[in-house]
Amino acid sequence: MQSLYAINPETQRSKWVAIDADFDGSLESLFQLQWELKQDGVDAALEQSRRGGHLWIFGAEPLLASECRIYVYNLALRLGIPVKGGGLKEGIEVFPRQDRLEDGELGNAIRAPIGVHRKTNRRYWFYEAEPTPEAQLAYLDGLKKLNESELRTFIEGMSLPEAYRPVVAAPYISTVSSTQYPEFRILDYVRTTHKDSRNWWAKCPSCAGVGRDRSGDNLAIQIKNPRFYKCWAGCTKEEIRAALGQPIHTRAAV
């Protein structure tokens, strides 16, 4: 499977945006987004996938990842389309998944357009062109590309919705563990996949227990203070601890 990483860490820019959806009713949501983008004069190409679809927007030049995310998140939420994270376990996923990366970081990958899927060994086509490589490439080449001045007009006065911003917690202060209940350290129980300037990212144990978090990065663990962690798909700390076999202990009432 040919995979693409969205962000160039040297510029924090991406040449494309991909919206991945594989929940019930996901294709209807992607068609709705495609139509609404067209009202802004933005051509978006809808590609089939194994369980839903990918909606692609291509830039005339590399665009700031943070500004791309502001545009798509606000548009989706205005239309009432669910966005994964912010308390929701199901919804669209937007690539790039981060606003910025540190040097050496890759971010999250997605199957490249017209790429062969590793599990199915199938090639998935764009809906609006004949299913041949030549027709598909000609279709993509003919799409109007989004430029930076247009994007900044669309997002004027907007910011990333608060529910989807990285969590900032207080500095870490070590606590004294009791013999009966030693201090829980989540990094002792999960394997991190990558990190950014603020967080380690790992597969959420609770999501994994029900077959979710295929990308392995729903769980954010603060680097500065790893006592603070959050599942961006909405799992609670109680659910995460229970999935690890380390339930949160509560004091008995007296």
Distance CA 200, CA 196 (A): 7
The structure tokens listed for 195 are 């990190």
- Write out pLDDT tens, residues 173-218: 555 445 555 678 899 898 887 777 788 888 899 998 888 887 788 8
**Over the stretch 107-155, which tens digit does the pLDDT of each residue have?**
888 989 998 887 788 899 999 999 999 999 999 999 999 999 999 999 9
Q: At what angle do helices 26-39 and 65-78 cross, to 10 degrees?
A: 110
CA 66/CA 164 separation, integer angstroms: 12
* Per-residue confidence (pLDDT) for residue 179, from 0 to 100: 52
pTM value is 0.70
174 close to 97: Cβ distance less than 8 angstroms = no
* Percent of the chain at pLDDT exceeding 70: 91
Domains in the chain: boundaries = 3-162, 166-254
Confidence of residue 27 (pLDDT cuts 50, 70, 90): very high
How confident is the model at residue 254, as a pLDDT? 44
Q: In whole angstroms, what is the distance from residue 82 CA to residue 88 CA?
A: 8
Mean pLDDT of the chain: 87
Q: Is 119 helix (H, G, I), strand (E, B) or coil?
A: coil
pLDDT in tens, 28-57: 999 999 999 999 999 999 999 988 999 999
- Which contiguous run of DSSP H or E holds residue 219? strand 219-222
* Contact predicate 20/49, CB 8 Å: yes
Structure tokens at 250: 């509560």
What CATH number should be reported for the domain whose range is 3-162? 3.30.70
